[in-house]
Amino acid sequence: MKTLLCLCCAALLSLSGCYREQRPLPGAPATASTPDPLRMTNLQPGEPKAQANPANPYEENAYAVSQGKRLFKQYNCNGCHASGGGDAGPPLMDDKWIYGHEPANIYASIVQGRPNGMPSFGGHVPEDQVWQLVAYIRSMSGQLRSDVAPARSDSLSPGKAEQRRERETPASVALPQSAK
């Protein structure tokens, strides 16, 4: 009787699985249908309209976030964003988000491009890779749980590993910055 109980528990445990560890990934998350064009301010004409703001399930998957980190380097995001510290482009590891901090906002920024130099990667980067990048970028400001966010990388160390960063409280700056 006791052994039967143990076996049942074991079987149940195995069904639950652990999304954090799943790899390779099945494909772009279901919520990754093209999001609504996102507003960048809280002002809007007419009746207030609820806005779809899907979460990015890749933020729960450590493999997806590590793929995002790899792609961040390979697609040369470092060229303007310098491992999150910012250079020609704004820093990504702080709490100031010009075009919104939600995953869908970041997705739109990457896909559509933004004024003052952010290229549009829409056609160039496949959809699920964009979501992996979004998950990684969110980890740079400590938004992800420490068991999902990447640990230190096998390279010269630019700073604390993403999983040990303090969680920033992101705030959208109300209006886009003007050109410097």
Partner 1 sequence: MKRIAALPVLSLAGAAAMAAPFQNALKPAGIQAERIHDLWLLTVGICSVVFAAVLVALLLALSRAGRSDAATPPDVASLAAPEPRLKRNVLLAVGASIALLLVLIVADFQTDRLLGRMPLSDAVHIEVTAHQWWWEARYNDPEPGKIFTTANELHIPVGRPVIMTLKSSDVIHTFWLPNLHGKKDMIPGRTSLIRLRADQPGTYRGQCAEFCGLEHAMMAFLVTAEPNDRYEAWADAQRREASNVLSARESRGRQVFMERSCVMCHTVQGSGANAVFGPDLTHVASRQTLASGVLPNNRQQMAAWVTQPQKLKPGTNMPATKLSGEELEALLDYLGTLK
Partner 2 sequence: MTTITTPTHTGQRDSARQLEQTWRDPPGLYGWFAAINHKTIAVRFMLTTFGFFVAGGVLALIMRLQLARPENTLVGPDFYNQLFTMHGTTMMFLFAVPVMQAVGSYLVPLMLGARSLAFPRMNAFAYWIFLFGGLMLYVAFLLDIGPDAGWFAYVPLSGPDYSPGKRVDFWAQLVTFTELSALLEAVILITTIFKMRAPGMTLNRMPLYVWTMLVTSFMVLFAMPSVMLASTALITDRLVGTHFYNPAEGGDALLWQHLFWFFGHPEVYLIFIPPLGFMSSIIATFSRRPIYGYPAMVLAVIATAFLAFGLWVHHMYATNIPELGKSFFTASSAMIAIPTAIQIFCWIATLWTGKLNFRTPLLFALGFFFILTLGGLTGIILASVALDLQVHDTYFVVAHLHYVLIGGAVFPLFGAFYYWFPKFTGRLLGETLGKWNFWLFFIGFNVSFFPMHLLGLAGMPRRVWTYPAGMGWDQMNLAATVGGMMIGASVLLFIINVLRSRRHGVPAGPNPWGAGTLEWGTDSPPPAGNFVAPPVCGGRYPLWEPDGVPAHVTGLADDRREILVTTLMDAVPDLRPVMPSPNIWPFLSAVAVTILFVGSIFTPWAVVWGAVPIAIGMTLWFWPRSRETRKNAASEVHP
| Binding residues for partner 1 (CB under 8 A) | 23-24, 27, 67, 70, 74-75, 123-129, 154
Choose between 102 and 162: whose C-beta lies nearer to partner 2.
Answer: 162
Pairing type for strands 96-97 and 171-172 reads parallel
Stretch that binds partner 2, among 32-40, 98-106, 118-126, 158-166 (CB under 8 A): 158-166
For residue 118, which phi and psi values (nearest 5 degrees)?
-75, 115
CA–CA dist 143, 121 (Å, integer): 24
31, 46, 83, 139 from 78: Cα distances, Å:
27, 40, 5, 15
Residue 17: contacted member of partner 1, partner 2, none (CB under 5 to 8 Å, by partner type): partner 2
CA–CA dist 158, 142 (Å, integer): 15
- x/- map, 60-79, partner 2, by CB under 8 A: --xx-xx-------------
Residue 126: contacted member of partner 1, partner 2, none (CB under 5 to 8 Å, by partner type): partner 1
Tell me: does residue 10 bind partner 2 (CB under 8 A).
Answer: yes
H or E element that contains 129: helix 127-140
One residue of 30, 43, 156, 179 binding partner 2 per CB under 8 A: 156
Which amino acid type is present at position 155? S
Residue 125: contacted member of partner 1, partner 2, none (CB under 5 to 8 Å, by partner type): partner 1
